[in-house]
Structures are given as C-alpha cells and as structure tokens.
Amino acid sequence: MPTFITGAEVYTPEERIVPGAVAIADGRIAAIGPPDEVPPPEEAEALEAEGKIVAPGFIDTHVHGGAGADTMDQDPAALATMSTHLARHGVTGFLPTTVAAPDDAIRAALARVAQVMHESLAGAAVLGAHVESPYLNLEFVGAQDAAYLRLPEVEHIAALLRGFEDIVRVVTLAPELPGALEVIGWLVDRGISVAVGHSAATYDETLAALDAGLSRATHCFNAMPDLHRRKPGAAGAMLTDPRAQIELIADLVHIHPAVLGIAIAARGVGATMLVSDAMRAAGLSDGVYGLGDQEVRVESGIARTAEGRLAGSTLTLDAAVKNVVEGVGVSLADALTMVSASPARMLRPSGMGVLHSGATADVVVLNRDLTVETTIVAGRVVYSAPVLG
C-alpha cells in the first residue's frame, strides 16, 4: 500500500529536511522534500511523524543471531526469527554471519541464506551472507571454536563456497596465514569483499593484504593486537589506509568511547560501519546460550565464553546509534550514515541506504530518544511499536 510520511525531521542521510515528507509507492521512494512540495500518492496510508526522525533503514553486515535464533541453526525458521527481531530495531537488511564450523555446517547455513534471500520475510531482508571463515589465527580465536580453524587454500574456499559465490558478500580471514593472499585474490575476483579479522597481522602484512584486494576490518580493534606506537598492526593499517573500511561494535564494552571517536575521526563516517556482531541472546534476558558448539554466559547483557572472552554481543543497531551520539558525541546525521549509506555503499546493493526519489523504500521512523517507532522494508510496514496505555 502507498504510504505518506509527513511532519518529520528527515535525514537522507546526506541532507536534513525539517519538516519533511516522504511519499512511498510500489516499494520505492516516490518523492521526498518539504511537505508542501511532496504530493501524497493516491490512496496512500498517512503516517503522521511530527516530532519524529525519519532515516534510511539500518543495514547490519555482521550479525550471528538474535531472539534465540542463530545463523548456524538447522531450523529453517531461524533466519525468519532473526529478521523479525532485527526489524524491531530499525534494521531493514542484514547479512547472516557464520562461525568457524565443519564445512558441511557452513554450506548448510549458506543454503538456508540462499533459500530465504528472495522470500518476503516478516521483517528485515536477507542481503546475502558474511562468512566468518575458518581461516583465523589461533592466537586471536576469540569466541570461535579453535577445533575448526585451518590454513587458507584456494581449493578449499572454492569447494566451501561452490554454488554460493553469488550470495556471499564478505569473508573474514587472517591475512598473515600462509595461503591467505591467494585466497583473497580468488575471492575478490568473484566480487566478494574480504575482511581482516581474528588476526595477528602486522602493519606490513595488512598492507600486503590490501594490495591483494582486502578491503575491510571485521570488528576493528577486537580479536587483533592492540594499536601500539611502534607496532600499529592491522588496526593501524586499517585506520590509515584510504582503501580501508572498518566495522565497529559500538556497545561501549568492546571498544572504549574515546577509541570509537578516534576510529571514526580517522576513517570518516563514509568508511565506517556500525555492526552488532550480535549472538542469539540479543533481545533476551541474561542466561546461558550457545554460540556454535560453545556455551556462552550473558550477564548484564555482556556475552562471554567460559574462559571470559567476549562472545559477540547483545547489541542492536538502534542502541549503537544512540551510543555513538550520546557516548561519543557523533552527530545524529553521521551516526545514521554509519548504519545505512556506509554499509550499503560497501555492499553495493542498488538503491539502498539512502532516501531519494527512486531508492528502495527501506525506512525507519525513530522517536526523539532514538527508539524505533516504525520500520518499513521495500515499502511494506514490517514493525510498528505497540501503543502503550
């Protein structure tokens, strides 16, 4: 049904329109601008948003699970559960993310992603898959299961992704491992982005990987050596090289607010994505949960392995936006860019991550406290906050 949103503070996100109106028809943005310049579509449902914020829908490029579901679950309903959960928090598109696991389990997860990519889910759309691969450094294993780690080989990645090359958007690996540069080249030749993660790579090793086609840092700073004045490492390379794009987990636990600010200032919002790295406990109460074959305990919303290592997060992207605005001092426009236009640009999906005429009508309506009021995916309202009282 056509929708007409009016009276809002609209972020495109490059432009702020106050007051603004957005006309939606046939799953696309039909028009956007001041209310007196935007005619409502015929038979449009009015959505009064006075005093609220309208922005492009959020895109989460690194999320393992939520609401009790996980990408690796054999239950075919798991991705649908994640979709509904994410939409409640403003996400309109996401990349279900795998963990190190047996090859057949990873391929089964990719098959489930491929199956739902073209389905009309009840919430956020599946945009492809992020393979947090078994090519990780044991020294920085984090919450990955060390039993499934291995050295990268072109023959192995070709077999692992065979038939799924067109749905895998990102592969995370440790570029210092023998064979990694060849695997990076193979992936890039097939249009798949490669990220450094769970890595002990030096600054020079990371630059060599960038030369080979690597372009991203998975959860920058986490599961890699600390940035040191004489040993900048992977973090230093990804913060300073103009080819680099970075993920940040802005839960204020994985990274100190001051370091978040440094990273955003160094790379700029156009090369920075806020991600959740959420696991199945996101949206649920504290307790014991599974991540792959491992047991994870969540206390005060913080997920840790039995050894005390952080195990993903329970973060949602609406909370990440709020954290960088209130905890780091980033402008709302910049925070919104890092969850919409920036990940869309890096994934290169047509017409996503922005609000302009002809763009996909992926829209989030936020309250002034940055909680989600309404989420719209391809012109369809998939979430509306319950009316209290």
Query: Of these residues, 277, 318, 334, 362, which one is catalytic?
Result: 277
| Active-site residue flag, 277 | yes
* Structure-derived torsion over alpha carbons of residues 301, 307, 309, 310, reported in degrees to the nearest 10: -20
Radius of gyration, alpha carbons of the chain: 20
Whether 218 contacts 196, CB under 8 Å:
yes
Whether 340 contacts 331, CB under 8 Å:
no
Query: If we measure between CA atoms, which residue out of 324, 323, 326, 293 comes closest to residue 311?
Result: 293
User: Which residue in the block uniquely carries the two structure tokens 């009016």?
Assistant: 6
How far apart CA 206 and CA 349 sit, in angstroms, is 27
Element (H, E) at 187: helix 180-189
How far apart CA 144 and CA 223 sit, in angstroms, is 10
- List the structure tokens of 138: 């044991």
**Which amino acid, one-letter code, is at 119?**
E
Whether 153 contacts 180, CB under 8 Å:
no
Which residues, listed in sequence order, are joined to residue 246 by a DSSP beta bridge?
Answer: 217, 272
Whether 370 contacts 318, CB under 8 Å:
yes
- List the structure tokens of 37: 């310049």
Catalytic residue numbers read 277
